[in-house]
């Protein structure tokens, strides 16, 4: 699916989030709060937006994604590798930080993904995982469901692949409830993990430090 939408992924992303994703990515990189020059693995990097933001933040990003199509369409100077985020070709405790944007709901085994983060991130290292979310207020939730259920697939259909953009909003349902989600991150080995809500709760940032 991601191979199919890769050429226009950036454009549709920007349009459907009204460019709010730009600010969310900045918040994600700022939340790492690691020393300049640290190596940061951006998992499920897609076309490399977070890699570019990490470069601007003074980090040394390495992007990894399962889809060759997304990697081929990437616009970043960072090294890129085709890899499954659930089985990374990285030694234990080698990485200072990990980012991941809008991909948690795509992983077939979220627990396995978090265990993999705990394996590759060194003690004291940081993770910042950006994802869409459902707002808590009922009114906002209705508007959100209409926008992502009806409007986004139309925009996606006009600019790219309608079926893919119908699937993407639906896939939010694959995420565990917020309390369970942050519990999974803490249990994996990031005991101080916290969930930050962005833009009224339509996006969320999970931030944590690898236990020492």
Q: Which residues bind ligand SAM (CB under 6 A)?
A: 2, 13, 44-46, 49-50, 65-67, 70, 84-86, 101-103, 106-107
Q: How far is the CB of 150 from ligand SAM (least distance, A)?
A: 19
Q: How far is the CB of 70 from ligand SAM (least distance, A)?
A: 4
Could you say which DSSP state residue 57 is in?
T
Q: How far is the CB of 171 from ligand SAM (least distance, A)?
A: 9
Nearer to ligand SAM, 67 or 78 (CB): 67
The Cα 14–Cα 128 span in angstroms is 21
Q: How far is the CB of 83 from ligand SAM (least distance, A)?
A: 6
Q: How far is the CB of 17 from ligand SAM (least distance, A)?
A: 10
Nearer to ligand SAM, 39 or 82 (CB): 82
Q: Are strands 60-65 and 95-101 parallel, antiparallel or unpaired?
A: unpaired
The Cα 115–Cα 194 span in angstroms is 17
Nearer to ligand SAM, 21 or 126 (CB): 21
Q: Which of 92, 93, 46, 90 is CA-nearest to residue 70?
A: 46
Q: SS3 for 201?
A: helix
Nearer to ligand SAM, 59 or 102 (CB): 102
Nearer to ligand SAM, 49 or 161 (CB): 49
Please name the residue ranges forming H helices in the chain: 2-5, 9-16, 20-32, 49-56, 68-72, 110-120, 138-146, 152-159, 162-170, 178-189
């Amino acid at each position: 699916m991601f191979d199919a939408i890769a050429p226009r992924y950036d454009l549709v992303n920007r349009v459907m989030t009204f460019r709010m994703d730009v600010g969310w990515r900045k918040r994600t990189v700022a939340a790492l709060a690691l020393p300049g020059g640290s190596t940061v693995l951006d998992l499920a990097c897609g076309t490399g937006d977070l890699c570019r933001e990490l470069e601007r933040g003074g980090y040394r990003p390495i992007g990894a994604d399962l889809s060759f199509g997304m990697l081929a369409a990437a616009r970043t100077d960072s090294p890129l590798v085709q890899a499954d985020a659930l089985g990374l070709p990285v030694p234990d405790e080698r990485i200072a930080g990990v980012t991941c944007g809008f991909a948690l709901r795509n992983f077939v085994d979220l627990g396995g993904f978090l265990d993999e983060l705990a394996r590759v991130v060194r003690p004291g290292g940081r993770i910042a995982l950006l994802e869409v979310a459902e707002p808590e207020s009922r009114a906002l939730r209705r508007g959100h469901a209409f926008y992502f259920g009806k409007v986004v697939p139309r925009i996606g259909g006009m600019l790219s692949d309608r079926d893919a953009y119908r699937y993407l909003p639906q896939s939010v349902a694959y995420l565990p409830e917020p309390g369970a989600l942050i519990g999974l991150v803490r249990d994996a080995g990031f005991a101080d993990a916290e969930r930050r809500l962005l833009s009224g709760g339509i996006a969320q940032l999970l931030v944590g430090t690898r236990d020492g």
